[in-house]
Amino acid sequence: MWSVSDDALLAGLGTGDPEAASAFVRRFQRRVFGLAMTIVGEARAAEDVAQEAFLRAWRHAGAYDPRRGTVITWLLTITRNLAIDSVRVRRPLPLDPDAILGLDLGGRERLPDELATLRDDTDRLSAAMARLPAEQRRALVLSGLLGLTAREVGEREGIPLGTAKTRIRTGLLRLRAALVSEERAE
């Protein structure tokens, strides 16, 4: 059986084909909108961000390079950057970082193959995150997900800039090491 891969769907979106565009939006809208909501915190603004993310994916489909990452990480990076830009001026207080990681993987509907693979990746990622010390995990969520600079992380956590930088760097390196070693173990 052959199913339309994420890459092929993005290809179709890039050509402006309505069927491909529709399938692409249906496949990814919950993730894109969910991320936008997490960062922006308000449905109306999150919808604007999510819509713009899909439009950029359509316009820049040709710039997607499968060697550099999956379609979903590419799309979520676009979404994240748009969402961060949209709250740059008057940022609301971020939610409790640990609450953001309340993954609800079990409740999803039957998943396509690609998303099943993705869920494995996400599971490995969240397992690696769970093994980090809480303060490093919070620093990564604040910076990597919500877009705070090290200085802003320091202010929010009430710690010196140098400490904030160390938490971000150490957390990121540990995450990387955990994901690479699991890849090798397979």
Partner 1 sequence: MLTCAEVRDLAPELALGVLGGAERAETLAHVDDCVQCRSLVGELTDAGELLPLLSREAEPPSGFEDRVLAAVGGGRKRGRLRWLAVVAATAAAAAIVSVATVRVVDRGRDDDRAAAVSPVSEVNSAPMVGAGGANVGWAFASDGRPSAVGISVGYVLPPGSYTIKAISATGATVRLGTMQVTDGYGVWTGTTKASDDGLAVISLVDAAGREVCQASLI
Smallest gap from residue 120 Cβ to partner 1 (A): 11
**Residue 131 lies near partner 1 (rule: CB under 8 A):** no
**Residue 3 lies near partner 1 (rule: CB under 8 A):** yes
Q: How far apart are CA 72 and CA 18, in angstroms?
A: 20
| Number of residues located near partner 1, criterion CB under 8 A | 84
Using CB under 8 A, pick the residue from 42, 77, 133, 181 that binds partner 1: 77
Q: How far apart are CA 186 and CA 184, in angstroms?
A: 5
Q: How far apart are CA 38 and CA 23, in angstroms?
A: 24
Interface pattern 89-128 for partner 1 (x via CB under 8 A): -----------xxxxx---x-x-x-x---x--xx--xx--
Using CB under 8 A, pick the residue from 21, 82, 87, 132 that binds partner 1: 21
**Residue 138 lies near partner 1 (rule: CB under 8 A):** no
Q: Which of residues 143-172 bind partner 1 (CB under 8 A)?
A: 143-145, 147-150, 165, 168-169, 172
For helices 71-87 and 18-40, the axis angle rounded to 10 degrees is: 50
Please calculate the CA angle 121-173-74 and round it to the nearest 5 degrees: 45
Write the CA distances from 123 to 1, 9, 103, 127, 129, integer angstroms. Answer: 26, 24, 9, 6, 10
* CB-nearer residue toward partner 1: 44 or 93: 44
